[in-house]
Amino acid sequence: MEPFVRDYQTCERRLAADLPAYLGREERLRVCVEMLWEHLRSRGVDWLGVYLINESHDALLLQVCRPGPACSPIPLHGVCGRAWKEGRPQVVPDVTALGEAHIVCDAANLSEVVVPLFDPTGACYGVVDLDSRTKAAFTGADAEGLRRVLRAAGLTT
């Protein structure tokens, strides 16, 4: 199977040009998720969501997602938690190979990419999580493309 072609540059340009500076983080997250979903849902992405760390820093809470809800709160032992704790993207070609280290919200999802979100002080406040029902649907290029989109939306440093 050929890899999915995903156009992160279009999202990046649109967000940088069209997202009003006065919007707060919550609204920026919603706009960004909607735009990413619009561009990625027909390109091997079956779920997209943003999790934010809770006040006690022991779980992630679902903030916004498409197309529908998923697990929340989630503990930090999974892929999202690892991205938050390590502060670096996680690309998982086969989530079934993770065993207990994978939190199953939808058993049909087979691969995942998670990108951390950093506030202006450099603290990680959450993650963006994309899931696919195709194994090896994501690469490091997806993680980098997502990071650029999130930066253009003013959601990460």
Check whether 3 has a pLDDT greater than 60: yes
Contact 119, 150 (CB under 8 A): no
For the chain, domains (ranges, CATH) are: 8-152 (3.30.450.40)
Q: How far apart are CA 31 and CA 13, in angstroms?
A: 14
Per-residue model confidence as pLDDT tens digits over 18-62: 899 899 999 999 999 999 999 999 999 999 999 999 999 999 999
CB 50 within 8 A of CB 33: yes
Is the pLDDT at 154 greater than 90? The verdict is yes
Report the distance separating Cα 118 and Cα 10, nearest Å: 22
Centre a 10 Å sphere on the Cβ of residue 7 and count the other Cβ atoms it contains: 12
In tens, the pLDDT along 90-145 reads 999 999 999 888 899 998 999 999 999 999 999 999 999 999 999 999 999 999 99
3-state SS track over 52-86: EECCCCCEEEEEEEECCCCCCCEECCCHHHHHHHH
Residue 70 has pLDDT above 60, yes or no: yes
Sign of the Cα torsion 126, 51, 108, 132 reads negative
Cα torsion angle, 34, 36, 37, 42, sign: positive
What are 118's strand-pairing partners? Answer: 124
Predicted confidence (pLDDT) at residue 1 exceeds the cutoff of 90 = no
